[in-house]
Structure 1
Amino acid sequence: MPHLRRRALNTVPLAKAYTGRANSFGFLRLCFAFAVVLAHAAVLGFTQPLTNRFDVPGLAVAGFFGISGFLITRSARRSTLPRYLWHRALRILPGLWGCLLVTGLVLAPSLWYLKHHTLDGLWRSNGGVVDYLRNNWWGGMRQGGILDLLLDTPYGQFTHVALVNGSLWTLSYEIACYLIVAALAALMVLHRARLLVLLSGVLVFGVLVWNHFEQLRFGHAPLWTEGLFGPFPLLGSFAKAWFLWYGFMFLMGAAAELYSDRLPINDLLGVASLAVLAGFVVNGGLFGPGLLFYEYTILWLAVRLPRALHRVGRTNDYSYGVYIYAFPVQQTMAKFGVTVLGLWGFFAVTAAAAFACAYASWHLVEKPALRWRNWTPRSLREPEPGRGEPNPAGSEEGQPEPSRTGPSTSTPAPAPADQTPVASPELAGR
């Protein structure tokens, strides 16, 4: 008891409590991914929400953004702008492209052939596979389905919408946040004017508070909650409400990283924040002031959960793959009647299948792609001492160049081939 009392009263800054490997961000990301799978199991398999009290997948995705805001800002502060953009592209695009190709070139032809006994009309028809790949290739989900495939699922019959992978819509919001951080880094805001980020967070929090009370008084939130803005090249349009909520979580994560030397981590504060968050969730008001407590709870859990959980996601991060593959897996299994197992049976089978896809995606696509994180274009490479050419004759072709963008003057060696390329949560991002 004295030990627990001392720990509860002990306060340390986040910068001291957090280390690159000794944290539970990987575990939390995986929990959020499977929470989305569970919520979608109810919707896709049985056309009903998991609970009417709160939005489970929305809550989980907001958690993703809260973690990303912290880790991505940390990455941007430690890298040059080109290196930061390269790392972000490597982390999100190869996995997405793999998922799109599997969906468009394997799943769609299989389902189409079973239905029509031919592949004619699948590829270049309006809304076919080619359109699906082109419209979604850069992260903006501008086409949700492929012709009428999966319209005969429980979800398709209920909504009359043929939807192949509805989870991809959040990627454009995350990419937009990455680009905003890139702009702040280019303007030196992250290094020299971090107060602007904090003030922006205070301003957005004020909007959330105002909307919350207006919702309670009049049943309507007036500020930035209706309609779309955009479209933007490649990414499409954004729903104002989701951009406000997810953007605030990302912004709070960024502010927490920038002020990690002053943000107190305390178990009493953590428990109190969790209790306030639970109150907002139970009363259906999470997407408002409750998001601030949600962000603190995530950061507190990341550094306070048992050390055994620190290993989850440290070398193999399957959360992204689970998230992007689960939806088509669940739609397909619902089509073929796996829902006969009931909600929890359907969830168990589809979660296992999604994890198998995530495992393959990580080891065959995402992890090999991340080995290129230290690659530098030939024109930008520095000549080795005593050699006039940037790429001296006799060097091993394909060997990635060491990074020269970190805060240290030393040059880190490339990761050996038998080691994971995710040396820190900052690179994992999601």
Structure 2
Amino acid sequence: MLGRPQFLDPHGDAMLPSARQVGRRAVTAVPLSNAYAGRANSFGFLRLCFAVAVVLAHTAVIGYARPLTEVVDVAGLGVAGFFGISGFLITRSARRASLPRYLWHRALRIWPGLWVCLLFISFVVAPIVWYAERGDLDGLWRHPAGVVNFLQANWWGGYRQQGIMDVFRDTPYGDLVRRSVLDGSLWTLSYEIFCYLIVASLAVVAVLRRARWLVLAAAVLVFGLLLWNQYEALRFGGSTYFTSGSIGTLPLLGALSKIWFLRFGFMFLVGAVADLYSDKLPISDVLGVLAIVVTGWQTLEGHLFGPALLAYEYAILYLAVRLPRLLHVVGQKNDYSYGIYIYSFVVQQMLAWLGAAAWGFVGYFAVVMVFTVVLAFLSWHLVEKQALRFKDWTPRFRRGAPPAEASGERQPEPERVPVPATADASAPRG
């Protein structure tokens, strides 16, 4: 009996799978633990896409004082994606490293790049704008809203002072929010750092190793809060107690908005569950396409930041392991997404101050990307990459301790996880 014809290469091997094989692959589910293999994934590509999405959304807000679209929160979509990836990779790192090593890796990934960015803003951008507008630098440094306080307030990741004096007050975005805002993207760093600390606390009490069901239970509980909040918003047009106001004032980080912590925290939490249950989480084309459709539908309806976040997280994981292998190399050796994240906002403000928005949306966005990528390139090669060279450094008093293998711990796999960014939460979001 003749079989189904196939296209053959010159050596006689089948090149294209039959329709039956394609269909079988579409409905066949494999555990995420099998589909995800070390660096053979597209997380780097997705992070870069999320970073560009944030820049695109901010281009409209910063240059023209209007959202990119009235329906879709493009910046929020990108930031939530960052948190979803971070939850998966950071939890994996915490399970495979000792607590000091985990905290050291997180500090190296966040702070050196942030510190240089803050110094660049404080001693390059702000003085240039201040001097150009006033002809001197008087009052820029020691004023309560000056450079010194700006550095002190934001040094550890809490964006507690948004501007320096009246720098960029006359830009379209400055007129919109009626204050100086130098790098509004930094406000999500405190949420990311807080999530890191939560994972660290779970590692300390051995929840990640011995009671992963508690993390799953927490995800179910938070998902219930999202459902409740969505119901309240649709029925009464308001939010619940659990999403109104802020979470106190945390040392160094400041206050966290309850609603954004719920949304970003849920994405991080579901990413953590995906890692902890990667041996049981099925990945299939049918579920992946369904998750993408649900995410797109709810996003266009303006309801992404509700139960649809669950579908969004699955779509991210699906794309990470199913996108073409050609994309796996993006971000593996040189990860510019964090640099794009922390520098894009101040670049957009500077160019808007210089009048570049008059070149039209496409021209303004293009020149913003050029300068942002240059700064991200420099940030990675001169700061971030150099800092990561110290990831295996051990204090002298601990050098005589037994290695991780001897203590029953596995060494962490090399990984780089950037932190998300978006505009100031109090400003209109696009």
TM-score, normalised relative to structure 1: 0.90
Of the structure 1 ranges 238-247 and 109-118, higher mean CA displacement relative to structure 2 is found in 109-118
For structure 2, list consecutive stretches of 5 or more residues without a partner in the other structure.
Answer: 1-18, 420-430
| Equivalences for residues 13-412 of structure 1 within 5 A | 13-382=31-400, 404-405=403-404
| 1:407 Cα deviation from its structure 2 partner | 8.7
The counterpart of 2:414, out of the listed 408, 411, 424, is 424
Q: Whole-Å Cα distance in 1 between the matches of residues 191 and 129 of structure 2?
A: 30
Identity of aligned residues (%): 59
User: Which residue identity is paired with 1:318?
Assistant: Y
| Partner amino acid, structure 2, of 1:243 | F
**Superposed displacement of residue 423, structure 1:** 6.7
- 1:235-257 deviations in Å (ceiling 9; x for gaps): 00000000000000000000000
Contact 1:315–1:423 at 8 Å: present in 2 too? no
Report Cα offsets for 1:360-379 as digits up to 9, x if no partner. 00000000000000000001
Distance (whole Å) between structure 1 residues aligned to residue 391 and residue 199 of structure 2: 19
Q: What secondary structure does 1:103 align onto? A: helix
* Distance 1:411-1:42 versus aligned 2 partners, 3 A rule: closer
Residue of structure 2 in register with 1:419 after alignment: none
Code of the residue aligned with 2:247 in structure 1: it is: F
- The Cα of 1:159 is off from its aligned counterpart by 2.4
Moved more, 108-117 or 282-291: 108-117
Partners of 1:406 and 1:157 in 2: CA distance = 57
Q: For the Cα contact (< 8 Å) 1:39–1:56, is it kept in 2?
A: yes
Q: Indicate the SS of the match to 1:121.
A: coil
Shift of the 111–429 alpha-carbon distance from structure 1 to 2, 3 Å rule, reads: closer
Q: Which is worse superposed, 157-166 or 194-203?
A: 157-166
221-230 or 242-251, which deviates more:
221-230
Deviates more, 1:299-308 or 1:341-350: 341-350
Q: For the structure 1 residues 404 and 106, does the alpha-carbon distance in structure 2 shift closer, same or farther, using more than 3 Å as the test?
A: farther
Q: Residue 170 of structure 1 aligns to a residue in which SS? A: helix
Runs of 5+ unmatched residues, structure 1: 384-402, 413-421
Q: Distance in 2 between matches of 1:186 and 1:276?
A: 37
Distance in 1 between the 2:390 and 2:253 partners?
Answer: 25
Query: Contact conserved, 1:79 with 1:407, CA < 8 A, in 2?
Result: no
C-alpha deviation, 1:424, in angstroms: 3.4
Q: Deviations over 1:334-382 (max 9, x none)?
A: 0111111211211111012111110000000000000000000001102
Contact map agreement 2:339 2:380 (CA 8 A) in 1: yes
Contact 1:70 1:253 in 2 (8 A): yes
- Output the CA distance in 2 between the equivalents of 1:111 and 1:3: 62
Distance 2:362 2:34 in 1: 41
- Aligned AA for 2:414? S
1:316 Cα deviation (Å)?
0.7
Letter in 2 for 1:228: S
Letter in 1 for 2:70: N
In the other structure, the counterpart of 1:394 is none
Question: Aligned to 1:237, what secondary structure does the other structure show?
Answer: strand
Q: Is the Cα contact below 8 Å between 2:35 and 2:283 reproduced in 1?
A: yes
The answer on whether the counterparts of 1:404 and 1:411 sit within 8 Å (CA) in structure 2 is: no
1:158 deviates by 2.5
What are the Cα deviations for residues 32-68 of structure 1, in whole angstroms up to 9, with x where unaligned? Answer: 0010000000000011000111211111100000000
Give per-residue Cα distances to partners, 1:110-144, cap 9 Å, x unaligned: 11111111122111111111011010000000000
- How many angstroms apart in 2 are the aligned matches of 1:238 and 1:110? 32
Instruction: Supply the distance in 2 between the matched residues of 1:322 and 1:291 (Cα, whole angstroms).
Output: 24
Any idea what SS the aligned residue of 2:162 has? coil
- Secondary structure at the residue paired with 2:360? helix
> For 2:255, what is the secondary structure of its paired residue?
strand
User: TM-score scaled to structure 2, two decimals?
Assistant: 0.90
TM-superposition CA deviations, 1:77-106 (whole Å, max 9, x none) = 000000000000000000100100111011
